[in-house]
Amino acid sequence: MEDYGRFLALLASALLVGFVSVILSLVWVFHYREGLSWDGSLGEFNWHPVLIITGFVFIQGIAIIVYRLPWTWKCSKLLMKFIHAGLNTIAMILAIVSMVAVFEFHNAKNIPNMYSLHSWIGLTAVIFYSLQLFLGFAVFLLPFAPVHLRVALMPIHVYSGLTIFATVIATALMGITEKLIFALKSPAYSASPPEATLVNCLGLLLVIFGSLILWMASRPHWKRPPAENAKILRPTEATPDGTEVESTLTKSSNADKSDLRSNTEAARKQNIKFDEAGQRSTM
């Protein structure tokens, strides 16, 4: 891997910043707010920021870069797909639970739902994330989608995944700011009490975490390399995507050797294309 040391430094920084963000969200709700509960009180609402930061931000960020981890490159492509899909599934479940907590709290306190820009963008992100996960399962994880469809959808899959992640970060910043404005009365948010300082620092950490994840995910030289099916294939050997490449090894004439080299090069290019469609996914 090119710039291996830099990648490890960025990865360690992202993990540290993400972990500290989760810890700060817990400190916020337990030290300054009413803790966690599931009884229609403010403690139930507090599940929302904790689960969003833990699942929708931290776990989703790890899922985005899991293909970039060089020590996983020896693992099978299918195993990495399951890990990628599993992390995204956990993130989606936590996000849905956090949404349920908000709606139940609002209904218990007779507070209107879905009136703020934060709620509009947040619900939109959850819906598109669910669609992204479903299409990722259907197209890239299950073996039924044709290769040309995977190749066509891969750029959209990657772009939409990164866009959703950035949108989640922005929505989280809107949400914690909105919470401070509503909750801090005496002293007010404008007076910069300790709680406001803590949550502002949490917001900065979320921005740093998102920036690190997006940087690592957008560097082409840190992509998972194609599998070793670009090697010379034996007669009628099946590729991981179910295609067969016929190679006839002949030693009789220079013309046969030329044909072999031509066929092998075509097979190598095709297999690399298939690998890129099946490996480099970002839900």
> Rounded CA gap, 220 and 2, in Å?
10
Query: How buried is 14 (Cβ within 10 angstroms: 0-12 exposed, 13-18 middle, 19+ buried)?
Result: buried
- Confidence (pLDDT) at 85: 95
Which sequence spans correspond to the domains of the chain? 4-226, 228-277
What is the per-residue pLDDT across 96-147, written as a single tens digit (0 to 9) for each? Answer: 999 999 999 999 999 999 999 999 999 999 999 999 999 999 999 988 889 9
Q: Is the pLDDT of residue 254 over 70?
A: no
Q: Record the tokens describing residue 70, joined without a space.
A: 């060089």
Instruction: State mean pLDDT over 57-74.
Output: 93
CATH number for domain 4-226, candidates 3.30.565.10, 1.10.760.10, 1.20.1050.10, 1.20.120.1770: 1.20.120.1770
- Confidence (pLDDT) at 223: 87
Mean pLDDT, the chain, rounded, equals: 85
Which value, to the nearest 10 degrees, does the dihedral of the CA atoms of residues 69, 227, 132, 118 take?
A: 20
The share of the chain scoring above pLDDT 90, in percent, equals: 70
Q: What is this structure's pTM?
A: 0.80
Q: Is the pLDDT of residue 226 over 80?
A: no
> Rounded CA gap, 28 and 207, in Å?
18
- Confidence (pLDDT) at 253: 43
